[in-house]
Amino acid sequence: MSGGPTHLYQVRALYKKILLLHQTFPLHMKALGDQYVKDEFRRHKNVSPQEAKRFMEEWETYAALLWKQAKDERGAAGVKGRYGAALAEDKLNYFSEEQMGQLLELMNEATKPKPQFDVEESEPKR
pLDDT digit string, tens, across residues 4-56: 778 889 999 999 999 999 998 888 889 989 999 999 999 999 999 999 999 99
pTM over 0.75: no
Q: Specify the DSSP class assigned to residue 121.
A: -
Q: Per-residue DSSP letters for 35-50? A: HHHHHHHHHTTT--HH
pLDDT-derived band of residue 64, with 50, 70 and 90 as boundaries? Answer: very high
Residue numbers of the domain that contains 68: 5-110
Cβ(59)–Cβ(16) below 8 Å: no
The residue ranking higher by pLDDT, 25 or 61, is 61
State the total domains in the chain. Answer: 1
Residue 29 in any domain: the answer is yes
Whether residue 122 lies inside any domain: the answer is no
Q: What is the spatial distance between Cα 57 and Cα 32, in angstroms, rounded to a whole number?
A: 21
* DSSP state for residue 115 in the 8-state scheme: P
Model confidence at 59, pLDDT cuts 50, 70, 90, reads very high
The answer to whether residue 58 sits within a structural domain is yes
At residue 115, what are phi and psi to the nearest 5 degrees? -70, 140
Decide: 15 and 63 in contact? Cβ < 8 Å.
no
Residue 119 domain-assigned (yes or no): no
Residue 120 lies in a domain: no
